[in-house]
Amino acid sequence: MTSPRIYLDYNATSPLREESKEAVVAALELIGNASSVHGFGREARRCVEAAREAVGDLVGASPAEVVFTSGATEANNLALGAVGDRRLLTSAIEHPSVLEAADAVRLPVDADGLVDLTALEALLERCEGQAFVSVMLANNETGVIQPIAEIAALVKAAGGLLHCDAVQAVGRLPVDMAGLGVDYLSLSSHKLGGPKGAGALIARAGAPLTAQQRGGGQERRLRAGTENVAAIAGFGAACRAVGADFAESAVLQGWRDRFEERLLATAPETRIFGREASRLANTSCFAHPFLPAETQLIGLDLAGIAVSSGSACSSGKVSASHVLLAMGVEPALAGSALRVSLGWNSREADLDCFLEAWGRLYKANTEQRRAS
């Protein structure tokens, strides 16, 4: 009997939407280089610019503010390249593409993973108008949503600049760049159901930006290199497919909440992280003190169920999450954490299958502990 194949790792990457697949295939038929002035080139350019408009529309930005990149990691690095002589402040729970991109002062977070605004305000005052702050909108591991508009107000009052990694939030929450008050916003195609290999940095008009990849005039000389027209087209199609209808999120939240209630009923010792904070509707991050993450991942994979132990950007390693450690979670428990994340093609029955398989692992572990 073949095990079911159940995908519960949307925060790592989303399955490709049909609309994106069709856009990619159509763009692959285009012959021209989007920088060429002849008809073939202009046709490719129209494809890129249509996608640029779709990306901007999704976050309330002008197409002229959209810089296409190879993904969110490059977008984050491009944004942080604008730090210059300013002092960089980042939260301790940022994605590695922010934490490892530049030296920074780490902002502490509370037990729910929310940035300490009092500490931020004190650090901004010491920066004397020369702060560059980078805080994500929603955490990739816990789903906890940061109060970015409040953070932006503090940063602006102090004369600073604010970058926001919105990779996990866009498509799951209404995101308006002007409403948030940020100067830079990073996006990723494959988190939305678009293809891998495309992303964007939205840079507010007038915000300083320095090319990190040089050698050509593409993207207004802010990102050299021939555009990946097919991936960009798929990115634009994913943005259009997501649109402004977030009814799906309400459904996912209901599924997620019932899932967590059943999980706690099965194993009351389980700890759910960020549960008291506002979270993405699709994300549940939890740990059981007697079930190491690696044991769970292997057992669930054998049952045909794909989940994650945290960020997908750690070379396949299973280790204690820096996000949970920053939240004050003890290392042993942080090393047991799993993340279940849902998306556009999920079914509530997928969670039922997870709970059945996980329950077997929990029961076997409990019996083994009693026997020993």
> Alpha carbon of 206 to those of 108, 114, 118, 209: distances in Å?
30, 29, 29, 9
- Element containing residue 230 per DSSP (H, E): helix 229-242
Say whether 313 is catalytic: yes
Cα torsion 264, 266, 269, 274: sign:
negative
Catalytic residue, chosen from 127, 164, 313, 353, is 313
Question: Residue 105 belongs to what H/E stretch?
Answer: strand 105-107
- List, as own/partner pairs, every contact residues 346-352 make where C-beta atoms lie below 8 angstroms and the sequence separation is at least 24, other chains included: 346/7, 346/8, 346/10, 346/252, 346/255, 346/282, 348/255, 348/258, 350/6, 350/7, 350/8, 351/8, 351/255, 351/258, 351/259
Instruction: Judge contact between 305 and 6, C-beta under 8 A.
Output: yes
CA distance 163 to 154: 13
Q: Which residues are tagged catalytic?
A: 313
